[in-house]
Structure 1
Amino acid sequence: MVGPSRALLLVIAIACCLSSSAMNVTYDGRAIIIDGQRRVLISGSIHYARSTAEMWPDLIQKAKEGGVDAIDTYIFWNAHEPSRGEYNFEGNLNFIKFIKIVQDAGLYVVLRIGPYVCAEWNYGGFPVWLHQIPGIELRTNNDIFKAEMQTFTTLIVSMIKKEKLLAPEGGPVIITQIENEYGNFIKKYGDSGKKYIQWCADMAKSLNVNVPWIMCQQADAPSPMINTCNGFYCHKFKPNRPSIPKMWTENWTGWFKGWGESQPHRPVEDVAYAVANFFASGGTFQNYYMYHGGTNFGRTSGGPYLTTSYDYDAPLDEYGNIRQPKWGHLKQLHSAIKMMEKILTYGEVNTTQLGNALAVTKFSINETSSGCFLTNANQSNDANATYNGNTYLVPSRSISILPDCEKEVYNTAKVTTQTSLMVNKPVKSTKLSWKWHSEIMEDTLNGKGSFSNESLLEQIMTTGDASDYLWYMTSVTLNKSSTSWRKKMNLRVKTKGHILHAYVNNRLIGSGYATKGSYKFDFEQEAELRDGHNFITLLSATDGLANYGAFFDLQKAGIDGGPVELIGNGKEKIDLTKNKWSYKIGLNGEMSKIYLPSASHGLNWNSDRLPINKSMTWYKTTFEVPDGNDSLVLDLQGMGKGHAWVNGQSIGRYWPSFLAADSGCEPCDYRQKYDSDKCRTECGMPSQRWYHVPKSFTTKGPNTLILFEEVGGDPSQVSLQTVTIGTVCANVVEGSILELSCQGSRSFSKIQFASFGNPEGSCGSFKKGSCEAPDALAVVKKACIGRSNCSINVTANAFGPSECSDLSRRLAVQAIC
């Protein structure tokens, strides 16, 4: 039994322990302050809803190993409250669990509640049921909207308070965000927009989170909100008050991708240059958007017309693999920046122009401690910069970091990290045997819907986004004796998008879809009519709802108001717009959940005569998962457009028949200022061919794959593949330490190329230069063959004599895992 005095001591000890883990988070004009110390903070965005709970620990650990201090994530309102007052925080929506895993890893959390998020997420994260509330206006000074927003925001804050996840309670959450990028469009909302943003600030403050609140892209953010910057470059950004720090909440590591677009890339040299430039200009908080992009599972992609993959060319790829050299080069940058943390946050700064676009920015504390950024802003020429009696080779458009203003420890353009080329390998033991079933359409093709109206309805308001699909059905009676009669007439439909399939008398007469950027289009196709009664059935489909822009929530879809016309003899029009129209939301297979392998649908799947290029068809097969930890993907080349499920879990929409334009893939030069149209690859190819199958979606036994094919494809071309490192390359200067890794259990099996001297070319096309050390290949083989990781000191002592003594020597290596 514990006596009163011992019990009291025990309580005090526990209280002291708890209080010691609590953090006091404030800020001043230099930095975020944690427990009295100004901090340089490097953060990375990982969205819990774009991966799986099983992936979270590995993603977070890799971010930590990459030198990240904090994990940044949005909260996705429409995922958590799909129906008004009904909440979902299970599975990969368990953000509380996600935050606790981040905490266990010893990292901070930046919680961007929004609850508008943009994020290329469906409807910007808003539930579509908001749109259906009478009298509501979103993101403005509207009492109905503000009440809903406050209810949800308060719920999220209450949940993190209950779990003691805020920093003052011992949790990892050090920063919270309200609203998102509203300043980009506030002028279009007029005075109501200004009142709304003030309300947002007041409401956030009333929640008493006791950590700083931020508003990104909000130049007029009211106190105590901190306004922050989003973009490819933020070194010129200035906070709106001298009492707040310079913060960069979104450093876009790449870009998102739409259907019909090529693959975007952002060179790591440019990312690193932007980061170094930001810290050199007084910034102290920087967040990568994204550090891991992930996957738009289900129907979560926004746009419209955004791909299921949200890879974003991030340091961790869609599947969670380390993307090299981006991950490694930025890791080295973080280490160099952290060496100057105290100097950057407490030191005085002075910039000296050295001429010819060269400059040195020096941070110093009482002349006893200093750190320097040596910048070459010239986009064409490398330079030898002399400073403090030392000479440094600074490549064009790069920054060298000298933590003591003497020794260069890092340069943004000198990439010494390996390049990893990933390969997709078919799973040899898996041969897919398909069954199929046509979508049941007897009801809709014959005009039988769930409800009717005397007008053509707008799709989003009508469906509440419960499905991508809305059927519009009507009929018309024609008479051969009419002056407009013609056996073959043109059906003309004006639609606000995004996709349309037209049926006349049970026959598909044609399909159409909008081009990205303009989702309205006119459909016109010849149809064979008959004397008497004719059925007109139009299937309208959406592909993600708008997520960005002023009044984005008012963007319409479907055959809203039409008109719908038949063009007859002499171009005489028969207007069907004001007919009685029947409606049905969704597909029959969708409503009966045919994609669930355990459900009883009363269906007999056909196993013979596999149909090819047949629209509105469900396909079913089973597969076994290969052993090992390699990422798993579905190669859907040959398919048209549709949706895929593995064991009943959606891996998203697919559209591999939508090809990128043949043009636009020009050589990439990191020295030129980046924008999202540069450094593109895979022109003329499917915008997305491979689709992520998370291992947690699968089992050891047979797994069920179900595809719904909307426009027609060839499932016999579909295959299951693994993603792994194929080739590893590096090209590093003498004096460096070369580290190579196969990133897993695999080991190096072959060294294809190794040369220490002045090798030429790049990964995949290395060749020997005019001189080299003769033993380079043997040295690399000895160090690496049979190992999953190897490390080599790149020195003349290690590689032996060469004829390159007067040159700057390099080691180039290409190896196979």
Structure 2
Amino acid sequence: MWSCAGRRRRRLLAGLFLLLLAAVVMRRFNLTSIIPMRFWGRVLGLQAKDSQFLLEEKPFRILGGSVHYFRVPREYWRDRLLKMKACGLNTLTTYVPWNLHEAVRGTFDFSGNLDLQAFLRTAEEVGLWVILRPGPYICSEWDLGGLPSWLLQDPEMQLRTTYKGFTEAVDSYFDHLMPEVVHLQYKNGGPIIAMQVENEYGSYAQDQNYMAYIKQALLNRKVVELLVTSDNKDGLSAGFVHGALATINFQKLEPKLLSSLSEIQKDMPVMVMEYWTGWFDSWGGPHNIFDADEMVERVEAVIRSGASINLYMFHGGTNFGFMNGALHFDEYKSTITSYDYDAVLTESGDYTAKYFKLRNLFSRILETPLPPLPVVLHKASYGAILMQQYISLWELLPSLIEPVKSEYPINMENLPVNNGNGQAFGYTLYETLILGGGTLYFHDYIRDRAQVFVNTQYIGHLDYNIQELSIPNRQGYRQLQILVENCGRVNYGLNLNNQRKGLIGDVFFNKTSLRNFKIYSLEMKPSFMESLRGASPWSAIPDSAVGPAFFRGSLQVQYMPQDTFLKLEGWEKGVVFVNGQNLGRYWNIGPQETLYLPGTWLQQGFNEIIVFEEHLGGRIIHSTDLAFLGRVQYVV
């Protein structure tokens, strides 16, 4: 017979087994969001106390790095996070882009490359904690700072304030986003140890009630982990909200910069939420580089001071499609497609000098062996790709697109397309009739760049700096065509409410407002590209391959597809699609000279390449195993 002590041991073991089984089942079927549960030993979570972080009452140092799932093909998430872990980091930070998850108002997408739960689970499996930065605004050199363009359909919209039209949209978004993540919080057995309240609001600060509203919106939706804010030094006091830990963002470690946090919060740990490991690039500018030794010296100084740190970016990735943002202070500057950022890992996930120097630093500080380095994915040079077919934009219209007829120009966001959600990205073509010749004037109503044609013949281009064009005189009525490109909405600053694109006001011809437009939405979504494949007549590329036009060719891959880079030498400006995937924009003004093509988007055998060229096309695209990001300028 069993003794009493033996029976007690058996009951204890059986109880522990049942608890463990319940935990596994609840996590497997996401039941933790339905049945609140405190996992064994997970009660207090991450705390900011007595000038240090504590995780379950034990001192904890955040060594973090930023990777954005929406800038990296899903098949490469694990590779990038394993490399983060092998560098010595213990925490992942990521933004959440509202404009991708709710591209159409009221329709939410958390699938495929937007499967946020899968990304966070991958981080957990790799052994990383997570600081989640859900916005709603994220900046991140991303179109409109991650806010969906349909918000701008409201002429009175006041973004990032407690304006009712904005808060109602945010509440609906959070109602759908938070159930995706709250069960992945630390106290519910997941990897999320902290969550950020908005992002860099101190640099905006238009509404003193806004940050308290966002904080409460998170708390109301079962967020139980540590709340934080993040700002640069000038925005610290305006971006701070009681009940959240203030953190700081910078690249240059100025005297007393870290101690400035103590001016708004006493006896709290110091956290650098964004230590900028490099910098982003704008079209027409240089490729920005930040010296590796200088960067590592500053990281070491932060750590030696006792602070925690997050490297922004650890791996930048790519602004695929039309998702790049822009800056507009003294002049408008559109961000390039690559988000390489001169970060710790390259755009394609390769190691850099910064990586090895940081790994050496962290191994010395941690005084423990680091995981082995994951292998680097090979890059392929597939050589010259011959473009074989051509179709002019003028030949496609209106057979492929039903135009909107309007007496007045309509901005992109307010076009009655996409089930009332307007047009978010791409190009918009405005057509009307003119009589005779004269001066075409736009009064700063072009957003952001336009090509002007008369009877499909190119006249010139307009942008923020060029506001008028001369139209040659001819007899009779002629068709005026204005092809306007949304080059990227501003992602930072006080200009967010003024980011409607296309023609945002009247066009004047000889001081008379033009009327009676046909407007074509050219968002170039997957459905459009699918229709384009079957369009006719595709023909052989003419000797003078003038755009706007689509060019088609094929890349043949014999063996297992590998990453490569496409170099469009001889082309001028446009967008590249491979097997329906939008790789992003190219432009011969640089600095970027190649587009990153992930091997996971290729297939063995035939791969279709379609190029939309705005002005002057070529016949050949070169596939190379090296990225060329342009002329270098060192960031001081």
**TM-score after normalising by structure 2:** 0.84
In the alignment, what sits opposite 2:496?
Answer: 552
The 1:222–1:497 alpha-carbon spacing in structure 2 relative to 1, beyond 3 Å, is: closer
Structure 1 residues 519-534: aligned runs within 5 Å: 519=464, 521-530=466-475, 532-534=476-478
Shift of 1:509: 1.7
Q: 1:300 aligns with which of 323, 330, 344?
A: 323
List per-residue Cα deviations over 1:793-817 (Å, max 9, x = no partner). xxxxxxxxxxxxxxxxxxxxxxxxx
Specify which of 292, 311, 326 is matched with residue 268 of structure 1.
Answer: 292
SS in 1 for 2:184: coil
The offset of 1:523, in angstroms, is 3.0
Q: Distance in 2 between matches of 1:575 and 1:305?
A: 31
Provide the residue aligned with 1:502 in structure 2: 452
TM-score (norm 1): 0.66
Say if 2:95 is the partner of 1:94.
Answer: no
Q: Contact between 1:547 and 1:553, CA under 8 Å: does it hold in 2?
A: no
C-alpha separation in 2, matches of 1:489 and 1:423: 57
Partner of 2:371: none
Residue 13 of structure 1 aligns with which residue? 17
Give the alignment partner of residue 515 of structure 2, picking from 579, 589, 592: 579
Q: 1:54 aligns with which of 49, 52, 75?
A: 75
Percent of aligned positions with the same letter in both sequences?
A: 26
Cα deviation, residue 45, structure 1: 0.3
1:427 paired to 2:382: yes
Distance 1:269 1:252 in 2: 14
1:148 to partner: Cα distance:
1.6
Alpha-carbon displacement from aligned partner over 1:622-680 (angstroms, at most 9, x marks no partner): 1123646853111112211111111111111221x11xxxxxxxxxxxxxxxxxxxxxx
Residue 37 to residue 196, structure 1, CA distance change in 2 (3 Å): same
Quick one: structure 1 residues 611 and 82, their matched pair in 2 at CA, closer, same or farther if it must change by over 3 Å? Answer: farther
Report the Cα offset of residue 248 of structure 1: 0.5
Task: For residue 203 of structure 1, report the CA deviation from its aligned partner.
Answer: 2.3
Over the aligned positions, Cα root-mean-square deviation in angstroms equals 3.0
- Could you list the per-position Cα deviations for residues 539-558 of structure 1 after superposition, in whole angstroms to 9, with x for gaps in the alignment? 21111111111241323443
Aligned match for 1:538, one of 467, 479, 482 = 482
Aligned to 1:489: 438
State the one-letter code of the partner of 2:131.
Answer: V
Change (3 A) 1:184 1:433: closer
Question: CA-to-partner distance for each residue in 1:716-764, whole Å, 9 max, x for gaps?
Answer: 2x11122499xxxxxxxxxxxxxxxxxxxxxxxxxxxxxxxxxxxxxxx
Matched, 1:290 2:310: no
User: Conserved in 1, the CA contact under 8 Å of 2:48 and 2:245?
Assistant: no
Residue of structure 1 equivalent to 2:237: 219
The 5 A counterparts of 1:715-730 are 715-716=619-620, 718-723=621-626
Which letter maps to 1:539? L
Q: Give the residue type in structure 2 aligned to 1:468.
A: G
Which fold has the larger relative contact order, with Cα–Cα distance below 8 Å and residues 6 or more apart in sequence? 2
Q: What is the rounded CA distance, in whole Å, between the counterparts of 2:570 and 2:627 in structure 1?
A: 23
In structure 2, C-alpha distance between the alignment counterparts of 1:338 and 1:45, rounded to whole Å: 20
> Conserved in 1, the CA contact under 8 Å of 2:556 and 2:605?
yes
Determine which of 133, 147, 152 is the counterpart of 1:126: 147
Per mean C-alpha deviation after superposition, the further-off stretch among 519-528 and 37-46 is 519-528
1:246 aligns with 2:265: no
Q: Distance in 2 between matches of 1:629 and 1:714?
A: 25
SS of the residue 1:432 aligns to = strand
Unaligned runs of 5+ in 2: 1-6, 24-38, 327-332, 369-376, 629-636
1:547–1:465 distance in 2 versus 1, CA, 3 Å: farther
Bigger drift between 135-144 and 232-241 goes to 232-241
Stretches of structure 1 lacking an aligned partner (at least 5 in a row):
341-421, 479-487, 566-573, 659-685, 726-817
Q: 1:527 to 1:593 in 2, by over 3 A?
A: farther
Please tell me the residue identity of whatever aligns with 1:439.
L
Tell whether the 8 Å contact from 1:467 to 1:585 is kept in structure 2 after alignment.
Answer: no
Bigger Cα Rg: 1
Establish whether residue 322 from structure 1 lines up as the match of residue 322 from structure 2: no
What SS does structure 2 have at the residue aligned with 1:255?
coil
Taking the aligned partners of 1:592 and 1:143, their CA distance within structure 2 comes to: 34
Residue 208 of structure 1: aligned partner: 222
Structure 1 residue 37: deviation in Å? Answer: 0.9
Contact kept in structure 1, 2:562 and 2:598, CA below 8 Å: no
Post-superposition offset of 1:449: 3.7
1:219 counterpart letter in structure 2: S
State the match for 1:229 in structure 2.
248
Q: State the partner residue of 2:34.
A: none
Q: Secondary structure at the match of 2:134?
A: strand
2:364 corresponds to: 336
Q: Which digits, 9 at most, give the CA deviation of each residue in 1:139-175, with x for residues without a partner?
A: 11212211221222232221113xx311111111111
Contact 2:340 2:347 in 1 (8 A): yes
Cross-structure match for 2:372: none
Aligned-partner Cα distance in 1 for 2:142–2:124 = 26
Judged with a 3 Å threshold, the aligned counterparts in structure 2 of structure 1 residues 322 and 6 are, in CA distance, closer, same or farther, namely: same
How far did residue 138 of structure 1 move?
1.1
In the superposition, relative to structure 1, how do residues 312 and 141 fare at CA in structure 2: closer, same or farther (>3 Å)?
same
The CA deviation string for residues 375-394 of structure 1, in whole angstroms up to 9 with x for no partner, is xxxxxxxxxxxxxxxxxxxx
Q: Distance in 1 between matches of 2:619 and 2:41?
A: 55
The structure that is helix-richer by fraction is: 2
Q: How far apart, in 2, do the equivalents of 1:309 and 1:144 lie?
A: 34
Secondary structure of 2:78's aligned partner: helix
Displacement, 1:601? Answer: 2.2
- Give a deviation string over 1:574-632, Cα, whole Å, max 9, x none: 33315333322227xx4794633x9762424223x444441111111111236468531
In structure 1, distance between residues paired with 2:522 and 2:455? 20
Other structure's SS at 1:615 match:
coil
Alpha-carbon shift at residue 256 of structure 1 (Å): 0.6
CA distance in 1, matches of 2:405, 2:10: 73
State the SS of the aligned residue for 2:88.
coil
Asked if structure 2 preserves the Cα contact closer than 8 Å seen for 1:56 and 1:98, the reply is yes
Give distance in 1, aligned partners of 2:99 and 2:525. 20
2:562–2:600: 8 Å Cα contact kept in structure 1?
no
Structure 2 distance, partners of 1:687, 1:93, is: 29
Paired letter, 1:306: T
Distance 2:285 2:558 in 1: 32
Matched, 1:708 2:605: no
After superposition, the C-alpha distances for 1:230-257 in whole angstroms (9 at most, x for unaligned) are 1103562332211432111111111111
Tell me how many residue pairs correspond in the alignment.
575
Decide which moves more: 246-255 or 624-633. 624-633
Paired position in structure 1 for 2:424? 466
CA distance in 2, matches of 1:122, 1:14: 48
Give the superposition deviation at 1:278. Answer: 1.8
Task: Tell me if structure 2 keeps the 8 A contact 1:424–1:724.
Answer: no
* Residue in structure 2 matched with residue 115 of structure 1 by the alignment: 136
